[in-house]
Amino acid sequence: MFPVSFLILLLATLTAAADLYKVLGLHKSASEKDIRHAYKKLSKKYHPDKNKDPGAEDKFVDIAHAYEVLSDSTKRPIYDQYGEEGLKAHEGGQHQANPFDMFQNFFGGHQQHQARRGPSSLTEFEVQLADVYTGANIDFMIKKRILCDHCRGSGAASDGDIHTCSTCSGSGVRLVKQQIFPGMFAQSQVTCNDCGGRGKTIKKKCPHCGGQKVIDHTAHFTLEVTPGMPEGHEVVFEGEADESPDWEAGDVVLRVRTRKDKGGWRRKESSLYWKETIGIDEALLGFDRNVTHLDGHTVRLVRKGVTQPGFVQTIKGEGMPTFEHSTHGDLFVEYNVVLPVEISPQTRRTTRGFRSFNKRSEQVFIKQEYELVYRAQHIKIIQQPLVILQEIAKRIITEQVCEIEAQTIVFEQWHSGLDGFSRDLRRHTQVTRLTSTAGLLNTTMISSPPLARSATTTLASQVGETATVRSHD
């Protein structure tokens, strides 16, 4: 018992020493099990061999000191009442335990002093791909067995109902003599059947657990899904498996799997894969569209010109987050081109005209981005970009109004005007194959709105000018 004067002086000189409970991240009401688990987790995290941070060793020493005090049934009450100064006065300058020896002893340096460890449980746990992309905290429950809170794992109705086994005298084993040969006996040690090797017998069983010492319990946990967590990553909840008075509880292990995404997203390590479906008009003329990503932000898909079926576009930095890093992988978009299920008779006739036009266009002396105009004894080249025709085609598709008559006028005048023109040109220059013009018209004129008339006028005037030049030759 401390003198009153000493206690007054002690309380007056208490310093703002570190709170040992806070060092372990615990409250003052923490159980022995909580203290043990906290030390196990933090000592691994801050051990100097694993953590190269300059302050890790000091943190490791503080954690060891906190565990040494709070795990001791004598020191903890003194610390709770009088703090560090009271503890120092009680110890009287005793040597503090080596934190590294404590760590070694705790994690297997002296196995003979450690309790037998119970089995761990492994559970496959599925999460949404979006949760792995953004990160999430997911609550879940696990059914397990815990020590009966009434008898605290003894299995007896009260402490007075627990007695020392009379058969083994509390040793838990008994000696058995067996005859090997006539006149020769061997003595062996076996587990006591009366007490099951525990050395104690129970007169009256606990009414809550029926003497089983454990009860069924549903435990609540929270899984922290880190962005970019690898497929099959295991998260360990230490000491949370089935409890028993005969062993130290094992671990609950969750093996995280990604549930198949119904939206079409696929993941491979840090890469994401997406299939985008486009129409034939977009495949030939290009497009600008948006895709909603896993976290809700918009990814813009832009293609100019022709997109072949099965083409894969790479978008940098739009893949999965890299686990425990600030970078992202890439997004790979595969394009699927959808063709019409049926073709109408009108479209079929128009398509036949396109096919004829494609064959006859090979005789025309037009380079991809120029119009050839014949004058007198030579050929003059005037720049005529196909951008004009492409713009007309896009406007025609945008309106989506069918006027087959406009198509017919274009092709008839185009054919008749260039037929004779090509024969004259063949005498003065070499043949150049028409490249993209026929294919462009073949695609864009299938759906023609009222704007088709303006397109017809433009093309017909070009054909007319060409024919006029030819007639003046």
Q: What is the pLDDT of residue 14?
A: 43
**How many angstroms separate the CA atoms of 5 and 12, rounded?**
11
What one-letter code names the amino acid at 291?
V
* 221 pLDDT more than 50: yes
Q: Lowest-pLDDT range, 123-137, 171-185, 410-424?
A: 410-424
| 366-388 pLDDT, tens digit each | 444 334 434 433 333 333 434 44
In CATH terms, the fold of domain 4-113 is Helix Hairpins (1.10.287)
Length of the chain (residues): 473
246 φψ region: left (φ > 0), alpha (ψ -120 to 50), beta (else): alpha
Residue 171 near residue 199, CB atoms below 8 Å: yes
Domain boundaries, the chain: 4-113, 117-142+215-259, 266-338, 345-471
Residue 260 has pLDDT above 50, yes or no: yes
Q: How confident is the model at residue 106 (pLDDT cuts 50, 70, 90)?
A: low
Q: Taking 80 as the threshold, does the pLDDT of residue 438 lie above it?
A: no
Q: Which two structure tokens, joined as six digits, stand for 412?
A: 């008839």
Asked: is 117-142+215-259 a CATH 2.60.260.20 domain? The reply is yes
In this structure, which long-range contacts are made by residues 347-351, counting pairs with CB atoms below 8 Å and at least 24 apart in sequence? 347/446, 349/404, 350/404, 350/407, 350/445, 350/446, 351/442, 351/446
Res. 273: pLDDT tops 90: yes
CA 288 to chain centre: 28
Mean pLDDT of 109-135: 77
Domains 4-113 and 117-142+215-259 equal at CATH topology level = no
The domain defined by 266-338 carries CATH number 2.60.260.20: yes
Contacts of 42 (CB under 8 A, 6+ apart): 24, 25, 63
User: Does the structure show a pLDDT above 90 at 149?
Assistant: no
d(CA 76, CA 65): 12
Which pLDDT does position 445 carry in this prediction? 44
pLDDT in the model for residue 4? 46
Residue 461 has pLDDT above 60, yes or no: no
